[in-house]
Structure 1
Amino acid sequence: MDTALADRLAAVDERIRDAARVAHRDVADITRIVVTKFHPAALVAELHALGVRDVGENRQQELTAKRAELAGIPDLTWHFIGQAQTNKARAVRAAADAVHSVDRARIADALDAADGAAPLDVLLQVNLTDDTGRGGVTPEGVEELAAHVAGRPSLRLRGVMAVAPLDEEPARAFERLRACADAVRAVVPDARWISAGMTGDFPEAIAMGATHLRIGSAITGPRPARD
């Protein structure tokens, strides 16, 4: 077992507990997702042995391959957090337990058409920047997209996801995301997930109500060099 990995995981979990205490929140209401992009499946197995049960992947091919390789490991929840593409919807649906990046009606329709043995948990990705070329529905479009997703029978709308812009205080960005979460709950009252906060800004996300944190290198260490 990699003791450095265990130490990094413990350090992050302590920071999560501290941030939850400062925000007067129950840490049990916060799910820590370890993002394992470009790391081998063996690292996911090590994380599982350390108690990790939620892992995140940005790329469909990597998600599919790792889930297949680790099929014998029980109770792992796989979160797809990368940009979703309609032509990969079936493969994403087959490998993911939750998709955090539904940002338009077409991807919701494609995931719904792929169908599965169980409902698929999905979140609306919100674009908190002024760059319309970035992934994510605009805050103004959240309610309309929420209503559309709610009408897809095999999808279960859980909440919202976003990345804080680099040129803005994270707390301000996450405050806007929380307003989007309120708008989604006006459509689907039990859509209470807020997926926000990464290595550099998760305390601010916790203060603004994040329920799911997406943390990578602070736990996994540097990503391996790619060929």
Structure 2
Amino acid sequence: MDTALADRLAAVDEGIAASARAAGRDPADITRIVVTKFHPARLVSDLYDLGVRDVGENRQQELSAKAAEVGALDGLRWHFIGQAQTNKARAIRAVASAVHSVDRSRLADALDAAAPEQGDRLDVLVQVNLTDDTGRGGVDPGEVASLAAHVAGCPTLRLRGVMAVAPLDEQPARAFERLRGSADAVRRVVPDADWISAGMTGDYPEAVAMGATHLRIGSAITGPRPVRG
């Protein structure tokens, strides 16, 4: 067993639990997703042996390759959290249990069209852009409700909630408080869409305080990302 990996995982889980208790929340209501971007597939297997069941990837090619190498592991859930191209929808849907980054109707339609003939509905979240940069991933907060309604009309998708990344030039707590407004807008469309995917290694305590249900934690657990050539 990789004791360093186990220690980092335990430390983050302790931090999440402490943040939840400080916010008056039950730690069991928070899902910790380990982001394994750029790490080899064997890390996913090592994490699985340590009890991790939720893993996140940013790129379709890496998601597909790792899933193929790791193989079927009972209860393992792959979360796609990166920007998605519509022409990658079928490959993403073939692996992912949840897609956190639906930010336009065309992507929702592509994921819907990629559904297998038999299978469960795909969990999806509306990604919200919390910055002033329209080139960043995510829908404008003012358009969240209309996109949520479109997603809700896709028969093979299940709208779960919202996702966002806190801007670098703003206090995370303020950004996540604004995200809660978008979460409320989505719940007015789909009342049980109560997931809030927010918080990473550097800001997950603030996300927990603002109601995050899913945290996307990378280097604090995995260690530094390998250098890519």
Give the TM-score of the pair, scaled to structure 1: 0.99
C-alpha distance after superposition, 1:90-133 (max 9, x if no partner)? 11111111000000000000000001321000000000000011
Match of 2:212 among 178, 185, 210: 210
> Match of 1:77?
77
> Match of 1:138?
140
Percent identical residues: 79
> Match of 2:175?
173
Q: For the residues of structure 2 that align with 1:112 and 1:174, how far apart are their CA atoms?
A: 29
Give 4+ residue runs of structure 1 displaced > 4 Å after superposition.
none
Match of 1:122 among 124, 147, 161: 124
1:151 aligns to 2:174 (yes or no):
no
> Match of 1:57?
57
> Match of 1:45?
45
- Unaligned 5+ runs, structure 1: none
Instruction: Give 1:141 deviation, angstroms.
Output: 0.2
Q: For the residues of structure 2 that align with 1:88 and 1:187, how far apart are their CA atoms?
A: 27
What SS does the aligned partner of 1:95 have? coil
> Match of 1:4?
4
Instruction: Give 1:72 deviation, angstroms.
Output: 3.3
Instruction: Give 1:68 deviation, angstroms.
Output: 1.2
Aligned residues: 227
> Match of 1:21?
21
C-alpha distance after superposition, 1:119-164 (max 9, x if no partner)? 0000000000000111100100000000000000000000000000
Instruction: Give 1:71 deviation, angstroms.
Output: 1.6
- Unaligned 5+ runs, structure 2: none
